[in-house]
């Protein structure tokens, strides 16, 4: 295995275009100072005055939006710089300062919602007819009054804004610990050779290694390090959950689940439908685990065997070749869509793709309306990396089209719809490859990536983590302590149930899987991966079946941002996630992959 390079050794063309955001550290400093200086200016100019006239309100909204846009750009630059090299102390310092700035902006603009509520729905509706620019805000006003019972006084809202920075400390501490401080013991192959274990190569390379000894020792090394710090990690997660309970109570909700789902106007049955359907469909997963054990010719099957390759021949792909395959699969969306994607990936350096020491694990798309929609990932020249690239480009194209078609007030889209666009790309890519590729090894690699990579993460791990998240929050709401041992036992129990009796569970290590998912620091985020993949397959199926206007409907979804409620945006594109139908249909897709795999491996 090649040694992971230091950040400074990476070819620039495979790094994100940081200079397009800020040309120098001095430029970032100036932007940060400008934002913090303007906090006081915006507050003094508009606080207590938004109700004077519709013109004043419009000016205030524009000033607040401009302040937040600049703050987002300053923050994303710092966070992205840190993520691509968590050993960079200068970047870590930027993140701390940017978080402090965010707290100042939140506090300085906290008067907005209380003052809008004081003006009142009827008067605001009249004002939207008096000043043309205010008409844009009708949906945002409607959403605010929907939430009226949970918006506190200006003073309380200001305190909550100032609390945002300290309440995020547990997440930041965990990220620094696992990404920058953790040094993993090397894995070992069956011949006794040592292999380096890092955040960037653990999933993408080591768990996909054909040598079971490598998979086992890498899995043990990775989770043993988390076990070593289980009390610290548990304390951090408990602190984050306590912050969620605090926010729930301050805003007068009955539960953290209702508080989280209320923000996006999602009924609780969407969450419970997913979990109930997942539990009922577990036999499909059990069939896959049994198939894979037999294909691998193993007496037993363990967690780390999920990613084991079923062919000895590895399919190698360059970054450029992967971009070509992805582009071909998305042709039904039109030439403009594909041209934008290719320009971003190959010319404008949207993607920070090269692995390097200190690079954070996983992958994400991140930017602001004033930047490119950047991607952080570690591309390792295989089908899995191609799928990750397709996934993140789905996020980036969603952001790109939203930013180019919506005003700032609707330039964000909710987490509930975020995973639809990313999984849509993967669904389209697999359909294209399974139809056009003839090489059996390539086909097996595509299906294995789909099932062991994407579906296992989104349709197995995430629903199990959603059950874990619900139970831990409910315990915290009842005032029960969340200890390292209780979290470990709960996680091991849930995965034992999900895997079924024929998969061997290493309870101490599997019980720490929760600590390897930073997603749990985003309140009730994980279930949305499973609803997202369900929506994605429902929408891609419309296009693949050739339904009239299916592509146009999907593009309309991407352009909508938050201009409508999330469920309404999806219904307009052709999928209703208030029923279990899309989840059930996606399990049928999973079963189809398993059927095809059975044919290929005999």
Instruction: Give catalytic residues, as residue numbers.
Output: 392
- As beta bridge partners, residue 375 has 351, 365
Pair of tokens at residue 60: 């205030």
Q: What angle do CA 454, 458, 464 make, to 5 degrees?
A: 135
Burial (Cβ within 10 Å: 0-12, 13-18, ≥19) of residue 14 = middle
How buried is residue 224: exposed, middle or buried, by Cβ count under 10 Å (0-12/13-18/19+)? middle
Q: How many Å separate Cα 301 from the centre of its chain?
A: 29
Q: E strands along 488-554, which residues? A: none
Length of the chain: 602
- Alpha carbon of 586 to those of 292, 466, 538, 583: distances in Å? 20, 18, 7, 5
List 188's β-bridge partners, or say none.
194
Distance CA 58, CA 50 (A): 8
Tell me which DSSP letter residue 88 carries: -
β pairing state of 351-352 and 374-376: parallel
Q: Own/partner pairs for 542-551, CB < 8 Å, 24+ apart?
A: 542/574, 543/332, 543/428, 544/428, 544/431, 547/574, 550/574, 551/332, 551/333, 551/334
Reported as half-sphere exposure (CB side, CA atoms, 13 A), residue 246 has a value of 12
Annotate 422-444 with b (16+ C-beta within 10 A) or e (fewer).
Answer: bbbbbbbbbbbbbeeeeeebbbb
Containing 569, the helix (H) or strand (E) segment is helix 566-573
For residues 505 and 280, what is the distance between their CA atoms, to the nearest angstrom?
21
CA distance 588 to 398: 26
Residue 433: CB partners within 8 Å, gap ≥ 6?
Answer: 325, 329, 442, 443, 446
| DSSP assignment of 269-333 | HHHHHHHHHHHHTHHHHHHHHHHHHHHHT-S--BGGGTT--S-SS-----HHHHHHHHHHHTGGG
Lookup: tokens for 80: 């992205």
| Rounded Cα distance, 384 and 397, in Å | 20
Read out DSSP for 201-267?
TIIIIITT-S-HHHHHHHHHHHHHHHHHTHHHHHHHHHHHHHHHHHHHHHTT-S-HHHHHHHHTT--
C-alpha span between 333 and 494 (Å, rounded) = 40
């Amino acid at each position: 295995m090649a040694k992971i390079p230091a950040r400074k050794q990476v070819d620039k063309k495979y790094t994100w275009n940081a200079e397009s955001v800020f040309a120098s550290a001095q430029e970032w400093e100036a932007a940060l100072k400008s934002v913090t200086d303007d906090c006081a200016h915006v507050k003094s100019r508009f606080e207590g005055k938004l109700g004077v006239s519709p013109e004043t309100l419009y000016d205030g909204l524009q000033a607040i939006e401009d302040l937040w846009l600049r703050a987002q750009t300053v923050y994303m630059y710092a966070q992205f710089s840190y993520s691509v090299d968590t050993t960079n102390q200068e970047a870590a310092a930027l993140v701390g300062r940017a978080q402090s700035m965010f707290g100042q902006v939140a506090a300085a603009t906290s008067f907005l919602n209380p003052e809008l509520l004081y003006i009142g729905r009827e008067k605001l509706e009249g004002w939207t007819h008096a000043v043309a620019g205010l008409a844009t805000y009708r949906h945002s006003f409607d959403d605010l009054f929907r939430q009226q019972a949970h918006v506190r006084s200006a003073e309380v809202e200001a305190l909550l804004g100032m609390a945002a920075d300290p309440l995020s400390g547990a997440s930041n501490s965990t990220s620094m610990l696992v990404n920058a401080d953790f040094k993993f013991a090397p894995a070992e192959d069956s011949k006794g050779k040592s292999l380096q274990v890092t955040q960037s190569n653990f999933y993408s390379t080591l768990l996909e290694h054909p040598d079971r000894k490598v998979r086992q020792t890498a899995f043990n090394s990775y989770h043993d390090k988390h076990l070593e710090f289980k009390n610290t990690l548990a304390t951090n997660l408990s602190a984050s959950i306590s912050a969620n309970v605090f926010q729930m109570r301050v805003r007068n909700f009955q539960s953290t689940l209702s508080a989280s789902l209320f923000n996006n106007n999602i009924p609780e049955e969407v969450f419970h439908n997913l979990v109930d359907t997942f539990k009922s469909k577990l036999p499909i997963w059990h069939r896959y685990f049994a198939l894979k054990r037999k294909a691998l010719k193993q007496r037993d099957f363990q967690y780390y065997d999920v990613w084991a390759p079923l062919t000895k021949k590895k399919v190698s792909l360059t970054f450029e070749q992967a971009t070509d395959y992805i582009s071909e699969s998305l042709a039904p969306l039109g030439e403009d869509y594909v041209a934008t994607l290719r320009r971003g990936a190959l010319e404008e350096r949207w993607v920070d793709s090269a692995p390097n020491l200190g690079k954070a694990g996983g992958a994400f798309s991140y930017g602001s309306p004033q930047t490119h929609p950047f991607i952080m990932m570690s591309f390792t020249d295989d089908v899995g990396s191609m799928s990750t690239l397709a996934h993140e480009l789905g996020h980036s194209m969603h952001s790109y089209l939203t930013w180019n078609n919506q005003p700032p007030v609707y330039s964000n889209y909710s987490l509930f719809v975020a995973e639809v666009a990313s999984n849509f790309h993967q669904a389209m890519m697999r359909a294209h490859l399974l139809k056009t590729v003839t090489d059996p090894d390539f086909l097996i690699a595509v299906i294995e990536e789909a099932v062991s990579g994407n579906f296992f993460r989104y349709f197995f791990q995430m629903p199990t983590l959603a059950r874990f998240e619900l139970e831990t929050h409910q315990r915290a709401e009842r005032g029960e302590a969340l200890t390292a041992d209780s979290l470990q036992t709960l996680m091991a129990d849930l995965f034992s149930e999900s895997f079924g009796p024929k998969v061997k569970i290493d309870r101490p290590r599997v019980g720490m899987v929760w600590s390897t998912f930073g997603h749990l620091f985003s309140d009730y985020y994980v279930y949305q991966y499973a609803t997202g993949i369900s929506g994605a397959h429902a929408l891609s199926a419309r296009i693949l079946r050739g339904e009239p206007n299916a592509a146009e409907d999907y593009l309309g979804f991407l352009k909508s941002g938050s201009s409508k409620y999330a469920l309404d945006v999806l219904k307009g594109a052709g999928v209703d996630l208030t029923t279990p139908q899309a989840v059930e249909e996606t399990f049928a897709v999973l079963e189809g992959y398993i059927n095809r795999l059975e044919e290929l491996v005999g």
